[in-house]
C-alpha cells in the first residue's frame, strides 16, 4: 500500500507546503531517474525557479517528459521554448470542444516512485500561491511496481501512441502555434478582447486578510545573465546612443511577476531605483525611453525620460497595515540619469509617509489604463518582513552603513 500525504488548499498561499519545493526536492534525489508531468497551463516563472535543478538532473543523463495543454491561451510560448531547450521529450495536447485539464507529476527510481495528482498547473499560482489541492503517493519499488504502473498509466494514456490529440512539439510547431495565436506571450500585457469590462475580486474586508507568503524570488544569476559591454551596446543601439552607452536597451523583457526594492525617498520626492536591476531587465521599466527632460541650462543636454509618465496605483501600509496613503492613478515621473546609469522616479506625496528602507513592491497592472500596481510597506507594517526577504541582491552602499537591497519574483 503506497504512503500518501496531502497538500491542502491553504498550504500554498500560507507557505506551509508548496509543490514547487517538493519538485525541487525530488529533482535532487539521486535514487530517482525519470520525471514527467502533464498540465493544462504552463508559464515560465516556475520553470525559471526549477532551472538549476533541471540542468543538474539532465547533466546526469536523467530524462524529463512533459505534456502541455494549450487551451484558452493558458500556456506561454516562453514555457514551451524552455521545455524544448531543456527536456527530453515535449508534447502538446488540444482537441476542439474538450479542454485538456489533467495535472499529474511523477518520478521513478530504483527503490521508489512518486506521483502527485491534484489541481496544480505549472504556473506560479499553481506551484506556490493558489488555493490548490493535491495528493502525493509514494510507492516502494519493485514491491509496489504494479500499483505504481497503474497510477502512472494515467499519464502514459496521453502520449501520442495512445491519444490522437497529442503530438510532439517541434520548433516548427511552436512557431505555428504562436502564429495561430494559441499561445500566451508573457512579454506582452494581456488585452481584454471580449468587449466587456474585466471583473476583479473586491478588496478584502478589514480583519479578513490571509497572511499570504510571497512567491519565491527569481534566481538572478540564471535569469538575467551578465550585462553587455559598452562597445557591444553601441553596435546594437546606435539609434538611441545616449541610453545605449549605459544599458542594453535592445534586451527583451524578462517575464517576471514583479520587482521589490528597499527605498529611501529624498526630500524632493525622488526615489533612486537599482542600477543593477535596470541592467538586468530594462524593458520592465519601459526602457528605451522616448522622451527627454528639459535642461535647466540651455547648453546642457536633457536626460532620457519615459514619455508619457507611467500611471501607477500606489498604496502605502504602516503599523497594523493601516493605509497611510493611496492614489489610484499617479503619473510617475521617470528619468534615466545616464551620467550615473540610474533611474529616478519622483513621487513627492510619498515623502511624509515613507521612511528609509521601506519596501516598494512594483508589479505590472492588469487594470486598464494603469501601468504598475505599487505597494509600499513601511518597516512597521506586519507585511514588511515577507517582502523584505525577497530582496536578495545588494546595491552599493555609497558609503552608508547599510546597503539597500532588491529582488525579483
Q: Is 332 helix (H, G, I), strand (E, B) or coil?
A: coil
The pLDDT of residue 221 is above 90:
no
The pLDDT of residue 354 is above 70:
yes
The pLDDT of residue 233 is above 80:
no
Phi first, then psi, for residue 80 (nearest 5°) are -70, -35
pLDDT in tens, 88-110: 999 999 998 889 999 999 999 99
- Range in 107-121, 253-267, 334-348, 370-384 the model is least confident about: 334-348
Residue 398, exposed/middle/buried by CB under 10 A (0-12, 13-18, 19+)? exposed
Q: Is 354 helix (H, G, I), strand (E, B) or coil?
A: coil
Task: List the chain domain ranges.
Answer: 3-179, 220-408
More confident residue, 243 or 207: 243
In contact, 55 and 196? CB cutoff 8 Å: no
What confidence score (pLDDT) does residue 239 get?
42
What confidence score (pLDDT) does residue 344 get?
95
In contact, 79 and 92? CB cutoff 8 Å: no
What confidence score (pLDDT) does residue 229 get?
75
Which grid cell sits at 390? Answer: 525577497
The pLDDT of residue 238 is above 60:
no
More confident residue, 233 or 401: 401
What confidence score (pLDDT) does residue 348 get?
95
Most confident of 15-19, 274-278, 340-344: 15-19
pLDDT in tens, 275-322: 999 999 999 999 999 888 887 776 667 888 999 999 999 999 999 999
Q: Which of 145, 134, 136, 154 is nearest to 112 (CA)?
A: 145
Q: What is the CATH number of domain 3-179?
A: 3.30.870.10
In contact, 141 and 169? CB cutoff 8 Å: no
pLDDT in tens, 167-193: 999 999 999 999 999 999 999 876 655
pLDDT confidence bin for 201, thresholds 50/70/90: low
pLDDT in tens, 114-169: 999 999 999 999 999 999 999 999 999 999 999 999 999 999 999 999 999 999 99
Kindly state the average pLDDT of the residues 343-349.
95
At what angle are helices 44-59 and 77-86 packed, to 10 degrees?
A: 0
- Separation CA 100–CA 91 (nearest Å): 13
- Separation CA 334–CA 175 (nearest Å): 36
Count of H-run helices and E-run strands, the chain: 11, 20
Average pLDDT along the chain: 91
- Separation CA 12–CA 19 (nearest Å): 8
CATH number assigned to the domain with residue range 220-408, chosen from the 4 options 2.60.40, 1.10.10, 3.30.70, 2.40.330: 2.40.330
Q: Which of 269, 399, 230, 384 is nearest to 318 (CA)?
A: 384
Q: Which of 157, 239, 192 is nearest to 73 (CA)?
A: 192
The pLDDT of residue 195 is above 60:
no
What confidence score (pLDDT) does residue 303 get?
87
The number of angstroms, rounded, from the C-alpha of 187 to the middle of its chain's C-alpha atoms is: 11
- Separation CA 148–CA 70 (nearest Å): 28
What confidence score (pLDDT) does residue 192 get?
56
Residue 216, CA distances (Å) to 240, 252, 292, 362, 408 in order? 35, 23, 37, 15, 9
Give the strands of the sheet with 63-69, arranged side by side.
3-7, 134-140, 112-118, 104-109, 32-39, 63-69, 89-93, 166-168
The pLDDT of residue 342 is above 90:
no
Kindly state the average pLDDT of the residues 383-405.
93
Of all residues in the chain, the percent with pLDDT exceeding 70 is 92
Q: Which of 261, 224, 268, 291 is nearest to 360 (CA)?
A: 261
Kindly state the average pLDDT of the residues 252-263.
95
Amino acid at each position: 500500500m503506497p504512503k500518501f500525504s496531502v497538500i491542502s488548499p491553504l498550504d500554498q498561499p500560507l507557505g506551509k507546503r508548496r509543490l514547487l519545493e517538493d519538485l525541487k526536492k525530488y529533482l535532487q534525489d539521486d535514487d530517482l531517474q525519470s520525471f514527467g508531468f502533464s498540465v493544462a497551463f504552463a508559464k515560465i516563472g516556475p520553470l525559471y525557479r526549477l532551472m538549476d535543478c533541471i540542468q543538474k538532473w539532465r547533466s546526469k543523463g536523467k530524462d524529463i517528459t512533459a505534456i502541455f495543454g494549450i487551451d484558452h491561451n493558458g500556456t506561454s510560448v516562453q514555457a514551451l521554448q524552455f521545455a524544448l531547450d531543456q527536456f527530453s521529450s515535449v508534447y502538446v495536447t488540444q482537441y476542439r470542444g474538450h479542454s485538456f485539464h489533467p495535472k499529474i507529476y511523477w518520478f521513478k527510481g530504483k527503490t521508489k516512485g512518486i506521483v502527485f495528482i491534484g489541481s496544480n498547473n505549472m504556473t506560479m499560482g499553481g506551484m506556490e500561491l493558489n488555493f490548490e489541492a493535491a495528493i502525493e503517493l509514494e510507492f516502494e519499488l519493485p514491491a509496489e511496481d504494479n500499483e505504481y504502473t497503474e497510477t502512472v498509466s494515467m499519464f502514459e494514456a496521453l502520449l501520442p501512441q495512445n491519444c490522437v490529440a497529442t503530438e510532439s512539439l517541434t520548433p516548427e510547431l511552436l512557431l505555428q502555434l504562436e502564429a495561430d495565436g494559441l499561445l500566451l506571450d508573457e512579454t506582452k500585457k494581456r488585452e481584454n478582447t471580449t468587449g466587456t469590462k474585466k471583473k476583479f475580486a473586491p478588496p478584502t474586508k478589514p480583519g479578513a486578510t490571509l497572511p499570504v507568503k510571497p512567491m519565491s524570488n527569481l534566481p538572478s544569476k540564471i535569469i538575467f545573465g551578465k550585462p553587455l559591454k559598452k562597445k557591444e551596446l553601441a553596435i546594437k543601439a546606435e539609434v538611441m546612443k545616449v541610453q545605449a552607452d549605459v544599458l542594453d536597451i535592445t534586451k527583451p523583457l524578462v517575464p517576471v511577476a514583479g520587482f521589490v526594492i528597499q527605498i529611501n525617498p529624498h526630500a524632493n520626492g525622488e526615489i533612486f531605483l537599482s542600477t543593477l536591476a535596470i541592467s538586468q531587465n530594462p524593458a520592465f521599466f519601459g526602457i528605451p525611453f522616448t522622451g527627454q527632460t528639459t535642461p535647466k541650462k540651455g547648453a546642457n543636454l536633457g536626460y532620457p525620460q519615459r514619455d508619457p509618465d507611467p500611471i501607477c496605483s500606489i498604496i502605502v501600509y504602516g503599523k497594523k497595515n493601516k493605509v497611510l496613503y493611496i492614489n489610484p492613478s499617479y503619473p510617475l515621473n521617470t528619468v534615466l540619469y545616464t551620467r550615473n546609469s540610474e533611474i529616478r522616479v519622483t513621487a513627492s506625496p510619498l515623502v511624509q509617509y515613507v521612511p528609509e528602507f521601506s519596501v516598494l513592491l512594483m508589479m505590472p497592472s492588469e487594470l486598464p489604463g494603469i501601468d504598475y500596481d505599487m505597494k509600499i510597506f513601511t518597516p512597521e507594517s506586519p507585511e514588511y518582513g515577507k517582502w523584505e526577504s525577497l530582496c536578495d541582491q545588494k546595491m552599493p552602499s555609497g558609503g552608508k552603513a547599510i546597503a539597500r537591497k532588491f529582488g525579483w519574483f
